[in-house]
C-alpha cells in the first residue's frame, strides 16, 4: 500500500509543475521518480528548456544532459519537438520507461538509459536536413488552406524522401483546436537496434534503473464514481 500512496503523492505534486507540458500523468510520475532518485530532486526551471535534466545536475551518471521519456511497451517513443531535437549536437542520455496495462493500473515493465553520441544522433536523422524540417514545419503552420488540405500536404511530405529514409520519424500534429506542431519519435524496434543494442526488449522480472528497482504502478486505477 505504501508504494501506491507514494505514487499518488508524486502524481499530485507533479501535476502542478507542468501545465504547459503535454505529458500524461503516468509520464509525470515516472519523471519525478527519476529526478528524485538519481538527480537530487532537480526541477526544471522551465518546461521549454532543452534538457529536462542539464549536465550540471547529472553528477553521478556521466555528467551529460538527460531527458526521461515513457512509452507503452512495443510502441514508438515520442522525442518531442522535431526542430529542437534535430539541433542536438552533444552527447546526452535518454532514460526510457516502458509500461504495460495490468488490469486497472499501468505498470513500469522495462527501463533503459542509453547514452547517445552526436554522431549516432545525426545518423538517425539520415538524409533529412534542417531545411527539410523547416519546410514541413511551415506547411503545418500555414493557416491559409483548410485544415484538411494542410493535413494532406504535411502527410504527403512526411511520406516521401528524405523523411522515409530516416530512422527518426516526423509526426505532424494538426487538429481543430489550433494545435500545429512538428514532433518526432523513434520506433520501438529501432530503440533497441540503434540506441540500446545491448539491451533486451523483453521485460525483466524487476525493472531497474542504475540498480534501483522501480517501486510500483505508475498510474493507479481512478476511483469509481458512485451512482446517485
- Residue 19's Cα: distance from chain center in Å? 17
Confidence of residue 47 (pLDDT cuts 50, 70, 90): confident
Query: Within 10 A of 212 (CB to CB), how many other CB atoms are there?
Result: 11
Q: Which residues contact 21 (CB under 8 A, 6 or more apart)?
A: 47
Q: Which residues contact 179 (CB under 8 A, 6 or more apart)?
A: 173
pLDDT at res. 8: 40
Confirm if 29 and 15 have CB atoms less than 8 A apart.
no
- Between 27 and 183, the higher pLDDT residue: 183
Q: What is the pLDDT averaged over residues 26-48? A: 91
- Between 98 and 10, the higher pLDDT residue: 98
Q: Minimal CA–CA distance to 137: which of 176, 187, 186, 84?
A: 84
Angle between helix axes 25-38 and 2-14 (nearest 10 degrees) is 100
pLDDT at res. 26: 78
pLDDT at res. 221: 53
Query: Within 10 A of 14 (CB to CB), how many other CB atoms are there?
Result: 21
- Between 181 and 216, the higher pLDDT residue: 181
Domain-wise residue ranges, the chain:
2-219
Phi-psi region of 107 (alpha: psi -120 to 50; beta: other; left: phi over 0): beta
Residue 4 has pLDDT above 50, yes or no: no
pTM of the model: 0.84
Residue 225 has pLDDT above 90, yes or no: no
Q: What is the pLDDT averaged over residues 142-168? A: 97
Residue 227 has pLDDT above 90, yes or no: no
Confidence of residue 84 (pLDDT cuts 50, 70, 90): very high
pLDDT at res. 2: 46
Residue 170 has pLDDT above 70, yes or no: yes
And the C-alpha cell for 29? 510520475
pLDDT at res. 218: 76
Give strand ranges (E) for 38-168. 66-72, 77-81, 92-102, 105-112, 115-116
Residue 9 has pLDDT above 80, yes or no: no
Amino acid at each position: 500500500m505504501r508504494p501506491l500512496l507514494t505514487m499518488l503523492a508524486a502524481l499530485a505534486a507533479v501535476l502542478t509543475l507542468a501545465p504547459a507540458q503535454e505529458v500524461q500523468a503516468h509520464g509525470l510520475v515516472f519523471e519525478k521518480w527519476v529526478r528524485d532518485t538519481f538527480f537530487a530532486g532537480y526541477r526544471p526551471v522551465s518546461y521549454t528548456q532543452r534538457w529536462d535534466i542539464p549536465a550540471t545536475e547529472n553528477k553521478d551518471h556521466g555528467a551529460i544532459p538527460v531527458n526521461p521519456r515513457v512509452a507503452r511497451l512495443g510502441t514508438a517513443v515520442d522525442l518531442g519537438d522535431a526542430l529542437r531535437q534535430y539541433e542536438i549536437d552533444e552527447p546526452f542520455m535518454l532514460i526510457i520507461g516502458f509500461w504495460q496495462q495490468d488490469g486497472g493500473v499501468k505498470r513500469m515493465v522495462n527501463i533503459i538509459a542509453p547514452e547517445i553520441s552526436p554522431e549516432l544522433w545525426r545518423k538517425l536523422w539520415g538524409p533529412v536536413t534542417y531545411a527539410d524540417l523547416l519546410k514541413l514545419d511551415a506547411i503545418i503552420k500555414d493557416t491559409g488552406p483548410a485544415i484538411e488540405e494542410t493535413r494532406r500536404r504535411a502527410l504527403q511530405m512526411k511520406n516521401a524522401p528524405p523523411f522515409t529514409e530516416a530512422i527518426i520519424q516526423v509526426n505532424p500534429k494538426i487538429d481543430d483546436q489550433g494545435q500545429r506542431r512538428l514532433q518526432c519519435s523513434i520506433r520501438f524496434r529501432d530503440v533497441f537496434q540503434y540506441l540500446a543494442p545491448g539491451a533486451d526488449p523483453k521485460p525483466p522480472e524487476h525493472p531497474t534503473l542504475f540498480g534501483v528497482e522501480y517501486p510500483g504502478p505508475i498510474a493507479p486505477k481512478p476511483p469509481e464514481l458512485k451512482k446517485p
